Amino acid sequence: MEQKIILTVDVVLFTLVEGGLQVLLLKRTHEPYMDQLALPGGYIHAETDVDSRAGARRVLKEKTGLVSPYLEQLYSFSGGARDPRGWSVSIAYYALVDSTVLIEQGPTACTLLPVDDLPQLPFDHNRIIAFAVERLRNKSAYSALPCYLLPPAFTLTELQKTYEMVIGNKLDKSAFRRKLNDLDFLEPVAEVRTGVHRPAQLYRIRPTRNLVLFDRLISK
């Protein structure tokens, strides 16, 4: 007893600009909801996608040209009400990307909108985005996740500002640096960022497969 169930993947791609956290939306090229802004998504290709993660990566690449340094399965949204075509499942992923890469290598016709001020979107995409924002905010408070919103090398002040924008409160510079030092997941690179004032040491994430997790939330 099997049923005709629609299976798609959707990707919530985040980036950070001066105004705050943004999500990438594209004009839909097919029915339903043709021409409306929505999350990049598409059908699973059973012949070519080894699993849903590969499908999400492919969809992101095909629709935006981007390869994200961080792609994680978010949740599977399902039910008979979320898609007019019938009972459906969307395996949703979220991805983080540096805004300069997005602007340089991203699609020409994409829209970046602030996550806290979105229009009404098709399907349950508002719910998916809200879910992804919550996950990103929660996980950022106890992990190295915000690093992936920055270019490969960044200064500690840039990283602190990124944490502050994502988790939504100010952090103390000295406590922040002490924590980074204890956690020891960053290493200096042989460059500094020069500006009009004192140059700042650049750092990168130590090459490691997994996301670094903390043993407590960063709060102040």
Partner DNA sequence: ATATTTAGTTGCATTTTGCCACTAAGTAGA
Partner DNA sequence: TCTACTTAGTGGCAAAATGCAACTAAATAT
Using CB under 7 A, pick the residue from 196, 207, 208, 209 that binds DNA: 196
126 binds a copy of itself (CB under 8 A): no
Q: Figure out which of the listed residues 89, 102, 110, 149 binds a copy of itself, where binding follows CB under 8 A.
A: 89
Q: How far is the CB of 96 from DNA (least distance, A)?
A: 22
SS (HEC) of 51-113: CHHHHHHHHHHHHHCCCCCEEEEEEEEEECCCCCCCCEEEEEEEEECCHHHHHHHCCCCEEEE
When CB distances are held under 5 to 8 angstroms depending on the partner's kind, the choice from DNA, a copy of itself, none that residue 174 binds is: DNA
β-strand pairing of 88-96 with 154-155: unpaired
Phi and psi angles of residue 207, each rounded to the nearest 5 degrees, phi first? -60, 115
**Residue 197 contacts DNA per CB under 7 A:** yes
Closest CA to 77 of 8, 139, 136: 8
Using CB under 8 A as the binding rule, whether residue 175 contacts a copy of itself is answered as no
End-to-end CA distance of the chain: 55
Joined together, the tokens standing for residue 66 give: 């981007």
CB of 47 to DNA, least distance (A): 50
Q: How far is the CB of 199 from DNA (least distance, A)?
A: 5
- CB-based contacts of 216, cutoff 8 Å, min separation 6: 142
Residues 6+ apart with CB under 8 A from 164: 170, 171
* Nearer residue to a copy of itself within complex by CB, 52 or 68: 52
Query: Does the footprint of DNA cover residue 204 (CB under 7 A)?
Result: no
Nearest Cα to 142, choosing from 75, 95, 212?
A: 212
Could you tell me if 78 and 90 are in contact, meaning their C-beta atoms sit under 8 angstroms apart?
yes
CB nearer to DNA: give 30 or 220: 220
| From DNA, a copy of itself, none, interface partner of 201 (C-beta below 5 to 8 A by class) | DNA
Site string for DNA, 144-183 (x = CB under 7 A): -----------xxx--------------xxxx-xxx--x-
Q: For binding to DNA (CB under 7 A), which residues are involved? A: 155-157, 172-175, 177-179, 182, 192, 194-201, 216, 219-220
Contacting positions for a copy of itself (CB under 8 A): 1-7, 43-46, 50-52, 73, 75-81, 86-87, 89, 91, 142, 215-217, 219
